Structure formats: C-alpha cells, structure tokens
Amino acid sequence: MTTVVDCPTCQTKVEWTEANKYRPFCSERCKMIDLGAWAEEKYTIPGAAPTDPLDEEKQ
C-alpha cells in the first residue's frame, strides 16, 4: 500500500515513494515556493525568546 499525502503548497495528492524526489511536494515549483516562504519569514516556529546570559550577570 502506497501512502498518499497532500502537497503542502497546492494540496495535490502525492504518492510518498522514493520515485518522487520532491516529496512531500508534487513538484520542484511547489518545493521552491515553500522554501521562499521560509526565507521571507512567513512561517514561524513558536517558542520562548532566547535569554542572554550576560543580562543575568547584570542583575
């Protein structure tokens, strides 16, 4: 049984196989659109702001 996923960019059904070198994307175009969105900081990963150890020494 082959796993089928939706392309994260265009929602086209994509087979998750070694033959699909762009998986989980359907094409190089969709892969590059996603990469561009990351580069433009359209996506974020939630998390706490990093702390600066030097700020703790000042207190």
Annotated binding site for Zn(2+): 7, 10, 26, 30
List binding-site positions: 7, 10, 26, 30
Q: Give the chain as a DSSP string.
A: ---EEE-TTT--EEE-STT-TTTTSSSHHHHHHHHHHHHTT------PPPPPHHHHHH-
